[in-house]
Amino acid sequence: MSSGRNAGRRAILHAWLAAGLTGAAGGALAQAGGARLAPTPSCGDEARPTARQTEGPFYSAGPPERSDFRRDAPGEPMALVGLVLDTRCRAVAGARVDLWHTDRDGHYDNHGYRLRGYQLTDEQGRFGFETIVPGLYPGRTRHFHVKVARPGGRVLTTQLYFPGEPGNARDFIFDERLLMEVREGAGGRIGRFDLVVA
Protein backbone atom coordinates (compact mmCIF):
# COMPACT_ATOMS: atom_id res chain seq x y z
CA MET A 1 0.00 0.00 0.00
CA SER A 2 1.62 3.23 -1.06
CA SER A 3 1.92 6.20 1.21
CA GLY A 4 0.31 8.22 -1.57
CA ARG A 5 -2.87 6.20 -1.28
CA ASN A 6 -2.83 6.59 2.45
CA ALA A 7 -2.28 10.31 2.17
CA GLY A 8 -5.10 10.58 -0.34
CA ARG A 9 -7.54 8.74 1.83
CA ARG A 10 -6.56 10.67 4.91
CA ALA A 11 -7.03 13.91 2.99
CA ILE A 12 -10.52 12.85 1.96
CA LEU A 13 -11.47 11.80 5.43
CA HIS A 14 -10.09 14.98 6.91
CA ALA A 15 -11.86 17.04 4.27
CA TRP A 16 -15.10 15.30 5.13
CA LEU A 17 -14.56 15.81 8.82
CA ALA A 18 -13.61 19.44 8.28
CA ALA A 19 -16.44 20.19 5.88
CA GLY A 20 -19.22 22.34 7.17
CA LEU A 21 -22.30 20.20 7.32
CA THR A 22 -25.32 22.09 6.15
CA GLY A 23 -27.50 21.79 9.19
CA ALA A 24 -27.63 18.35 10.61
CA ALA A 25 -31.14 19.37 11.61
CA GLY A 26 -32.25 19.95 8.07
CA GLY A 27 -30.65 17.08 6.24
CA ALA A 28 -26.92 16.89 6.44
CA LEU A 29 -24.83 17.38 3.37
CA ALA A 30 -21.18 16.60 3.21
CA GLN A 31 -18.43 17.10 0.74
CA ALA A 32 -16.17 14.13 0.22
CA GLY A 33 -13.50 14.19 -2.42
CA GLY A 34 -15.28 16.97 -4.25
CA ALA A 35 -18.48 15.04 -4.79
CA ARG A 36 -21.64 15.75 -2.90
CA LEU A 37 -23.09 13.05 -0.77
CA ALA A 38 -26.84 12.81 -0.81
CA PRO A 39 -28.75 14.16 2.16
CA THR A 40 -28.94 11.67 4.90
CA PRO A 41 -31.93 9.44 4.23
CA SER A 42 -32.77 9.15 7.86
CA CYS A 43 -33.37 12.78 8.75
CA GLY A 44 -36.05 15.29 7.97
CA ASP A 45 -37.56 17.14 10.88
CA GLU A 46 -37.85 13.91 12.74
CA ALA A 47 -36.03 10.65 12.41
CA ARG A 48 -36.61 7.14 13.56
CA PRO A 49 -33.83 5.57 15.55
CA THR A 50 -31.53 3.40 13.47
CA ALA A 51 -32.83 -0.15 13.25
CA ARG A 52 -31.33 -2.49 15.81
CA GLN A 53 -29.70 -5.74 14.82
CA THR A 54 -28.10 -8.63 16.60
CA GLU A 55 -24.63 -8.16 18.02
CA GLY A 56 -23.67 -11.61 16.76
CA PRO A 57 -21.20 -13.89 18.51
CA PHE A 58 -18.02 -11.94 17.82
CA TYR A 59 -18.16 -8.77 19.89
CA SER A 60 -15.24 -8.31 22.26
CA ALA A 61 -15.95 -6.11 25.26
CA GLY A 62 -13.57 -3.35 26.21
CA PRO A 63 -12.20 -2.28 22.82
CA PRO A 64 -9.59 0.50 22.76
CA GLU A 65 -10.34 4.06 21.72
CA ARG A 66 -8.99 4.26 18.17
CA SER A 67 -10.23 5.13 14.72
CA ASP A 68 -7.48 3.98 12.35
CA PHE A 69 -7.47 0.21 11.80
CA ARG A 70 -5.42 0.21 8.61
CA ARG A 71 -2.33 -1.32 10.14
CA ASP A 72 -4.32 -4.14 11.67
CA ALA A 73 -4.62 -6.21 8.52
CA PRO A 74 -4.03 -5.96 4.78
CA GLY A 75 -6.99 -5.17 2.57
CA GLU A 76 -8.80 -2.71 0.38
CA PRO A 77 -8.84 0.64 2.17
CA MET A 78 -12.14 2.07 3.24
CA ALA A 79 -13.30 4.98 5.33
CA LEU A 80 -16.53 4.81 7.32
CA VAL A 81 -17.93 8.22 8.17
CA GLY A 82 -21.18 9.64 9.44
CA LEU A 83 -23.04 11.60 12.02
CA VAL A 84 -24.72 10.59 15.22
CA LEU A 85 -28.07 12.34 15.42
CA ASP A 86 -30.96 12.32 17.84
CA THR A 87 -34.54 11.75 16.69
CA ARG A 88 -34.97 15.49 16.10
CA CYS A 89 -31.97 15.35 13.77
CA ARG A 90 -29.69 17.21 16.11
CA ALA A 91 -26.04 16.26 16.15
CA VAL A 92 -24.95 14.36 19.23
CA ALA A 93 -21.50 15.29 20.46
CA GLY A 94 -19.51 12.86 22.58
CA ALA A 95 -21.49 9.84 21.39
CA ARG A 96 -19.58 6.58 21.51
CA VAL A 97 -19.33 4.74 18.18
CA ASP A 98 -17.88 1.24 18.44
CA LEU A 99 -16.91 -0.59 15.22
CA TRP A 100 -15.82 -4.18 14.68
CA HIS A 101 -15.58 -6.32 11.56
CA THR A 102 -13.72 -9.13 9.85
CA ASP A 103 -10.48 -9.02 7.92
CA ARG A 104 -10.56 -9.42 4.15
CA ASP A 105 -10.77 -13.20 4.53
CA GLY A 106 -13.84 -13.07 6.74
CA HIS A 107 -12.10 -13.73 10.05
CA TYR A 108 -12.64 -11.83 13.29
CA ASP A 109 -9.82 -11.27 15.73
CA ASN A 110 -11.27 -13.04 18.74
CA HIS A 111 -8.08 -12.81 20.79
CA GLY A 112 -7.19 -9.16 20.46
CA TYR A 113 -8.56 -5.94 19.06
CA ARG A 114 -7.52 -5.97 15.44
CA LEU A 115 -10.23 -4.26 13.39
CA ARG A 116 -11.97 -3.21 16.58
CA GLY A 117 -12.20 0.10 18.37
CA TYR A 118 -14.41 2.97 19.38
CA GLN A 119 -14.34 6.72 19.09
CA LEU A 120 -16.36 9.65 20.40
CA THR A 121 -18.14 11.99 18.01
CA ASP A 122 -16.84 15.53 17.74
CA GLU A 123 -18.80 18.65 18.65
CA GLN A 124 -20.69 18.36 15.35
CA GLY A 125 -21.63 14.75 15.92
CA ARG A 126 -19.19 13.37 13.36
CA PHE A 127 -17.24 10.14 13.42
CA GLY A 128 -14.74 8.75 10.94
CA PHE A 129 -12.95 5.41 10.87
CA GLU A 130 -10.18 4.41 8.48
CA THR A 131 -10.17 0.70 7.92
CA ILE A 132 -10.42 -1.99 5.25
CA VAL A 133 -13.32 -3.57 3.42
CA PRO A 134 -14.53 -6.53 5.48
CA GLY A 135 -14.55 -9.97 3.93
CA LEU A 136 -17.25 -12.60 3.75
CA TYR A 137 -17.94 -15.61 5.95
CA PRO A 138 -20.46 -18.37 5.51
CA GLY A 139 -24.08 -17.34 5.82
CA ARG A 140 -23.53 -13.60 5.87
CA THR A 141 -23.31 -10.80 3.38
CA ARG A 142 -20.63 -8.12 3.74
CA HIS A 143 -21.19 -6.01 6.84
CA PHE A 144 -19.81 -3.84 9.60
CA HIS A 145 -20.90 -4.21 13.21
CA VAL A 146 -21.58 -1.02 15.15
CA LYS A 147 -22.67 -0.01 18.61
CA VAL A 148 -23.59 3.59 19.31
CA ALA A 149 -24.60 5.34 22.50
CA ARG A 150 -25.13 8.98 23.32
CA PRO A 151 -23.55 10.14 26.56
CA GLY A 152 -25.39 8.37 29.33
CA GLY A 153 -27.73 6.74 26.83
CA ARG A 154 -28.76 3.22 26.00
CA VAL A 155 -26.51 1.31 23.62
CA LEU A 156 -27.93 0.73 20.12
CA THR A 157 -26.36 -2.26 18.39
CA THR A 158 -26.66 -2.69 14.65
CA GLN A 159 -24.92 -3.67 11.40
CA LEU A 160 -24.20 -1.70 8.23
CA TYR A 161 -24.40 -3.06 4.70
CA PHE A 162 -22.95 -2.49 1.24
CA PRO A 163 -25.17 -1.54 -1.72
CA GLY A 164 -25.08 -3.93 -4.65
CA GLU A 165 -23.56 -6.75 -2.68
CA PRO A 166 -24.66 -10.08 -4.20
CA GLY A 167 -25.07 -11.67 -0.79
CA ASN A 168 -27.58 -9.13 0.48
CA ALA A 169 -30.56 -10.93 -1.02
CA ARG A 170 -29.55 -14.24 0.56
CA ASP A 171 -28.80 -12.95 4.06
CA PHE A 172 -31.85 -13.17 6.30
CA ILE A 173 -30.39 -10.62 8.73
CA PHE A 174 -29.81 -8.03 5.98
CA ASP A 175 -31.95 -4.89 6.25
CA GLU A 176 -31.97 -2.37 3.41
CA ARG A 177 -32.55 0.46 5.90
CA LEU A 178 -29.00 -0.16 7.02
CA LEU A 179 -27.34 0.27 3.63
CA MET A 180 -24.45 2.70 3.62
CA GLU A 181 -23.90 5.20 0.86
CA VAL A 182 -20.66 3.98 -0.62
CA ARG A 183 -18.60 5.84 -3.17
CA GLU A 184 -15.12 5.54 -4.57
CA GLY A 185 -12.72 8.16 -3.30
CA ALA A 186 -9.18 8.77 -4.49
CA GLY A 187 -7.79 6.57 -1.74
CA GLY A 188 -10.44 3.89 -1.48
CA ARG A 189 -14.09 3.48 -0.74
CA ILE A 190 -15.92 5.89 1.51
CA GLY A 191 -18.97 4.56 3.29
CA ARG A 192 -21.38 6.95 4.93
CA PHE A 193 -24.10 6.19 7.40
CA ASP A 194 -25.77 8.50 9.90
CA LEU A 195 -26.72 6.78 13.12
CA VAL A 196 -29.88 7.99 14.87
CA VAL A 197 -30.22 7.36 18.58
CA ALA A 198 -33.28 7.88 20.74
Nearer to Fe ion, 39 or 135 (CB): 135
- The reply to whether 153 sits near Fe ion by the rule CB under 5 A is no
Nearer to Fe ion, 56 or 153 (CB): 56
Residues 193, 160 contacting (CB under 8 angstroms): yes
Output 53 or 121, the one with its CB closest to Fe ion. 53
CA distance 108 to 122: 28
| CA 129 centroid distance within chain | 7
Contact of 150 with 120, CB cutoff 8 Å: no
Site for Fe ion in 52-71 (CB under 5 A): 56
Minimum gap (Å) between residue 105 Cβ and Fe ion: 13
* Residue closer to Fe ion (CB basis): 47 or 146: 146
Stretch that binds Fe ion, among 51-59, 75-83, 85-93, 109-117 (CB under 5 A): 51-59
CB 101 to Fe ion: min, Å: 7
128 and 64 in contact (C-beta within 8 Å)? no
How far apart CA 169 and CA 181 sit, in angstroms, is 18
In the complex, least distance from residue 52 CB atom to Fe ion, rounded to whole angstroms: 15
Question: How would you classify the pairing of strands 77-86 and 195-197?
Answer: parallel
Give contact residues for Fe ion (rule: CB under 5 A): 56
